[in-house]
């Protein structure tokens, strides 16, 4: 077994670290609690990333990307996540918010949608979650009914990030009838352009974290059959691929955030004195520091292994569920300990830990709750079939 990170990826990580220190950290005080990076700031940072050769570093080389794979992506995201600018948007500085779905489109779809997103000329969003589904996306009620060469879509999606800025939506709806409409059967993916009659924004959700996702409403939205990605009734396979990679990405984001929290805790413990000695000399503090380091190291090994499997073309969905479960819960514990070590100052908005804590709590639900990840993991062990597919049948 070789645990060494390839030299080219080490260099990439160091370059990303310098970018964070020089370009992102100076913006933290102003934008740490913002729901998004301002468009002018994003454009400037993206231009700088392109100048340095970072742009689309994780996308396949055949589409003009850097082709560094899942492991390289994790190393870079880990660095980006250490800064509150805001952490869940910072990756868009280096690479477009894209997901794997558009790579399955036909030639015309790739030309109209995929390539403009890769160039940074268009933005997109992924609409799967519904109020009736939550952790069970296969229970979606949004439906498309065929009408000649078109489909008419009705329904509502919630918690859709980027919906207000997206030039087009990747939306998943039901298209089957009877038994074909049950579970994962009969789910189809459509691409719908901004401004299409009947599609509109609804409620803007104000969450505990700085994120501000949207409700997306479809009222008799009429789209041609040419807007379907892949085959009718095979959209669940595309959604599952998106969810798998999305859960894997939670790993480096939580690791980066927890690394920053632990570093802050160590610095504070060495500086803060009580009863004539630094609190770092107290056993209670030392144990919190040690436990955090052990959990961080475990999280890295788990994440890097899952990323390696993805890069080898091996199944990694069970590992991605383990990554999301362990890393997000680890982040919550580490940042909680860091706040405890800081005492009253840890609760202050003058310090970065307060917003990190709110971010950590939200991660235990987004991209599938911790309970859902445990169901997926247990499903693999108990039945030989992933729970995400077992319950979708």
Long-range contacts of 140-149 (CB under 8 A, 24+ apart): 140/172, 140/173, 140/174, 140/187, 141/174, 142/171, 142/172, 142/173, 142/174, 142/218, 143/173, 143/174, 143/175, 144/173, 144/174, 144/175, 144/188, 144/190, 146/175, 146/225, 147/222, 149/224, 149/225
Cα separation, 302 vs 79, whole angstroms: 17
Quick one: how far is CA 338 from the chain centroid?
A: 24
Look-up of token digits 């390839």: 6
The angle that helices 7-19 and 69-80 make with each other, rounded to 10 degrees, is 30
Q: How far is CA 262 from the centre of its chain?
A: 22
Contact 57, 76 (CB under 8 A): yes
For β-strands 168-174 and 187-193, DSSP reports them as antiparallel
| Residue pair 296/330 in contact by the 8 Å Cβ criterion | yes
Known catalytic residue at 7: no
What's the rounded Cα separation, in Å, for the pair 72 and 156? Answer: 36
Instruction: Give the pairing type, strands 168-174 and 124-127.
Output: parallel
- Residue 391: CB atoms within 10 A of its CB come to 17
Rounded Cα gap, residues 334 and 265, in angstroms: 9
Marked catalytic residue, from 79, 111, 367, 371: 367
Q: What is the DSSP letter of 112?
A: I
Which residues have a catalytic role annotated? 367
């Amino acid at each position: 077994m070789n645990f060494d990170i390839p030299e080219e990826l080490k260099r990439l990580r160091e370059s990303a670290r310098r970018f964070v220190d020089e370009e992102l950290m100076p913006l933290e005080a102003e934008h740490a609690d913002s729901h998004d990076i301002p468009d002018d700031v994003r454009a400037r940072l993206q231009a700088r990333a392109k100048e340095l050769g970072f742009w689309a570093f994780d996308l396949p080389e055949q589409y003009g990307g850097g082709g560094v794979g899942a492991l390289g992506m994790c190393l870079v995201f880990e660095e980006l996540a250490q800064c509150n600018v805001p952490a869940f948007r910072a990756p868009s500085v280096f690479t477009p918010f894209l997901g794997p779905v558009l790579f399955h489109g036909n030639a015309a779809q790739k030309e109209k949608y995929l390539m403009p997103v890769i160039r940074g000329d268009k933005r997109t969003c992924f609409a799967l979650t519904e109020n009736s589904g939550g952790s069970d996306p296969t229970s979606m009620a949004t439906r498309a009914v065929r009408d000649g060469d078109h489909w008419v879509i009705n329904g509502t999606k919630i918690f859709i990030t980027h919906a207000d800025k997206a030039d087009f939506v990747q939306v998943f709806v039901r298209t089957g009838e009877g038994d074909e409409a049950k579970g994962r059967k009969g789910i189809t993916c459509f691409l719908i352009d901004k401004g299409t009659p009947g599609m509109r924004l609804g409620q803007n959700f104000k969450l505990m974290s700085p994120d501000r996702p949207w409700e997306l409403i479809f009222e008799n939205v009429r789209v041609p059959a040419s807007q379907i990605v892949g085959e009718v009734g095979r959209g669940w396979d595309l959604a599952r691929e998106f969810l798998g990679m999305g859960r894997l990405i939670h790993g480096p984001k939580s690791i980066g955030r927890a690394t920053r929290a632990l570093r802050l805790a160590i610095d504070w413990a060495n500086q803060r004195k009580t009863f004539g000695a630094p609190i770092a000399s107290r056993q209670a503090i030392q144990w919190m520091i040690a436990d955090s380091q052990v959990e961080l190291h475990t999280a890295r090994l788990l994440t890097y292994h899952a990323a390696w499997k993805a890069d080898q073309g091996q199944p990694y969905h069970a590992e991605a569920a383990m990554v999301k479960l362990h890393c997000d819960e680890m982040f919550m514990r580490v940042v909680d300990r860091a706040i405890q070590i800081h005492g009253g100052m840890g609760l202050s908005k003058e310090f970065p830990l307060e917003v990190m804590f709110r971010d950590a709590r939200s991660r235990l639900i987004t991209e599938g709750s911790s309970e859902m990840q445990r169901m997926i993991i247990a499903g693999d062990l108990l039945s030989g079939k992933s729970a995400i597919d077992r319950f979708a049948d």
